[in-house]
């Protein structure tokens, strides 16, 4: 029986390995982590992450050919293939702080693999890493390996949160990069044969190591760039009376451009886009390509601009002050169908409103109060773009309450900010909400999910990203 061990039981390691176990009953899969609480949760009925369809997959395989354990060394020792799916966040200190990927976790996993291995292994980079990381990992493994042979593969993950199981069942492509040597080709084939259990052969792409590593950063940069492009257009739409949804539709019907990923929003969030673009920017700078670095940096600058533009719009519309006004925040996760708040635009928007002394009442169907309070009290690290929002002090955190119901959040509020596109926010009883709010009552729809005309009929003043402005909003221009 082939044995797989995956180091890192997070948003990628957990779901990816659960799907491999489900699709390959003849393979034994162990997912290991240094975090005891995460592994305990994976072994319980309350999984550590919320992801539609995940419970079902885990229930079918856990205890049969899928195991979650903190005994990292034992499972690495026994494995034929070791996936490394540890976090690779942006460095916050030292050389490259604010841009470079922090490979501390990766390096310590590689050193541990070298230490405990007694047989040849394939080591798979599942984490998103800077191009050329495989070379560094190879050095660590071969300098400590006591004659054991390691083959390094790059197999970046393209799943998106909220649709992880769907994406893993039916991926656009699986990408495997390896050394162009007989041993490298053999290792690529071994990994390919695992995915071939359920992924059609033509969708399994094989490349050299560096192409696979760079393709992951490039894919995320292209995706984020589309969002920043449509968000940049949204500002121009508001200034001119065009409607960004009509513009995006018209642009997207060109088959060379395509319709997906053109939803204007309050800004993109999530643990990947910003981190991976910063990493790309850093790599460009290190390779003496400042113009290329500048080009990609702009994607993040527009994203920052979009978030502060939203805050300014809220404040400007409400007579240029939200001091001591209750603002309801509907949605805190970085997108619907996840409880993940990493880099969510809600953090920046809430901090911006708190900077203007608002009282916030926050509701998200999947994010806990603890998580929200922690996110709002952390200091953002700086990089070489001006930090646009003030860090929140403990006093301002007292101005935040987290509630478990949209009606409670909006009661007596002056305004509502919709920051995550949860389906349930489309069908709220807005008449009831309006009656219980201060007047004039505002809705700022950061995801363009509500029927603005219907809300206007009720009496709300409505702001939708990139749509023609109400007379009220036109009279109260926001300066970005």
Cα dist from 46 to 16, 38, 61, 364, whole Å: 18, 10, 16, 18
Binding residue ranges for NAD(+): 8-13, 33, 38, 86-90, 127-128, 161, 272-275, 342
Shortest separation between residue 15's beta carbon and ligand NAD, angstroms: 9
Q: Closer to ligand NAD at the Cβ: 17 or 247?
A: 17
DSSP SS3 for 208: strand
Cα dist from 178 to 156, 188, 213, 393, whole Å: 12, 6, 10, 48
Shortest separation between residue 436's beta carbon and ligand UDX, angstroms: 28
Q: Closer to ligand UDX at the Cβ: 20 or 72?
A: 20
Tokens, residue 91:
């460095």
Q: Closer to ligand UDX at the Cβ: 334 or 460?
A: 334
Indicate which single residue of 265, 274, 366, 396 sits in contact with ligand UDX (rule: CB under 6 A).
265
Q: Closer to ligand UDX at the Cβ: 307 or 399?
A: 307
Q: Are 372 and 300 in contact (CB under 8 A)?
A: no
Query: Which residues are at the interface with ligand NAD (CB under 6 A)?
Result: 7-13, 32-35, 38, 72, 85-88, 105, 108-109, 127-128, 157, 159, 161, 271-272
Shortest separation between residue 107's beta carbon and ligand NAD, angstroms: 9
**# of chain residues touching ligand UDX (CB under 6 A):** 19
The two beta strands, 174-178 and 66-69, are unpaired
361 contacts which partner out of ligand NAD, ligand UDX, none, CB within 5 to 8 A by kind? none
Residues facing 329 on adjacent strands: 362, 417
Across 73-83, b (16+ Cβ under 10 Å) vs e yields eebbbebbbbb
Residues facing 153 on adjacent strands: 124
Q: Does 269 bind ligand UDX (CB under 6 A)?
A: yes
Q: Does 220 bind ligand UDX (CB under 6 A)?
A: yes
Cα dist from 367 to 253, 332, 394, 415, whole Å: 36, 7, 20, 21
Q: Does 205 bind ligand UDX (CB under 6 A)?
A: no
127 contacts which partner out of ligand NAD, ligand UDX, none, CB within 5 to 8 A by kind? ligand NAD
Nearest to 356 by CA among 384, 311, 318, 322: 322
Rounded to a whole number, what is the largest CA-CA distance in the chain?
A: 75
Round to whole Å and give the CA distance between 73 and 38. 17
Q: Are 353 and 66 in contact (CB under 8 A)?
A: no
Q: Closer to ligand UDX at the Cβ: 334 or 444?
A: 334
Shortest separation between residue 106's beta carbon and ligand UDX, angstroms: 17
Q: Given the residues 6, 272, 284, 350, select the one marked as catalytic.
A: 272
272 is catalytic: yes
35 contacts which partner out of ligand NAD, ligand UDX, none, CB within 5 to 8 A by kind? ligand NAD
- Which stretches of the chain bind ligand UDX, using CB under 6 A? 157-161, 220, 223, 227, 261-263, 265, 268-270, 272-273, 334-335
Residues known to be catalytic: 272
């Amino acid at each position: 029986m082939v044995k797989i061990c995956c180091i890192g039981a997070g948003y990628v390691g957990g779901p990816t390995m659960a799907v491999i176990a489900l699709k390959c009953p003849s393979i034994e899969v162990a997912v290991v982590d240094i975090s005891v609480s995460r592994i305990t949760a994976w072994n319980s009925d309350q999984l550590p992450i919320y992801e539609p369809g995940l419970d079902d997959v885990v229930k079918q395989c856990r205890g049969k050919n899928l195991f979650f354990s903190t005994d990292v060394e034992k499972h690495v020792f026994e494995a034929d293939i070791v996936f490394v799916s540890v976090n690779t966040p942006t460095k916050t200190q030292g050389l490259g702080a604010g841009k470079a990927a922090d490979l501390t976790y990766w390096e310590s996993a590689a050193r541990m693999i070298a230490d405990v291995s007694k047989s040849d292994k394939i080591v798979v980079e599942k984490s998103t890493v800077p191009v050329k990381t495989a070379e560094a990992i190879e050095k660590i493994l071969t300098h400590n390996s006591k004659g054991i042979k390691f083959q390094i593969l790059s197999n970046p993950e393209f799943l998106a949160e909220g649709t992880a199981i769907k994406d893993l069942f039916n991926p656009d492509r699986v990408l495997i990069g390896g050394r162009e040597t007989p041993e490298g080709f053999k290792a690529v084939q071994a990994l390919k044969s695992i995915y071939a259990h359920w992924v059609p052969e033509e969708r399994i792409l094989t490349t050299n190591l560096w192409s696979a590593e760079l393709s992951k950063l490039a894919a995320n940069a292209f995706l984020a760039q589309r969002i920043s492009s449509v968000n940049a257009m949204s500002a121009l739409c508001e200034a001119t009376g065009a409607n960004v949804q009509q513009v995006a539709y018209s642009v997207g019907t060109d088959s060379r451009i395509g319709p997906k990923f053109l939803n204007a929003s309050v800004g993109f969030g999530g643990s990947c886009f910003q981190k991976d673009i910063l990493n790309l920017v850093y790599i460009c700078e290190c390779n003496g390509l400042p113009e290329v670095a500048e080009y990609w940096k702009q994607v993040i600058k527009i994203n920052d601009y979009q978030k502060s533009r939203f805050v300014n719009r809220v404040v400007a519309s409400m007579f240029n002050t939200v001091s001591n006004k209750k603002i309801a925040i509907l949605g805190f996760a970085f997108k619907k169908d996840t409880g993940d708040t990493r880099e969510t635009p809600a953090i920046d928007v809430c901090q911006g409103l708190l900077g203007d002394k608002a009282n916030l009442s926050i509701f998200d169907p999947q994010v806990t109060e603890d998580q929200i309070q922690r996110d709002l009290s952390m200091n953002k690290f700086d990089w070489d773009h001006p930090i646009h929002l003030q860090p929140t002090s403990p006093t301002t955190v007292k101005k935040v309450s987290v509630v478990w119901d949209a009606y409670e959040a909006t009661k007596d509020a002056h305004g509502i900010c919709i920051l995550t596109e949860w389906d349930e926010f489309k069908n709220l009883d807005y008449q009831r909400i309006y009656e219980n709010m201060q007047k004039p009552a505002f809705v700022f729809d950061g995801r363009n999910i509500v029927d603005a005309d219907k809300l206007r009929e009720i009496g709300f003043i409505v702001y939708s990203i990139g749509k023609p402005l109400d007379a009220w909003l036109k009279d109260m221009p926001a300066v970005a």
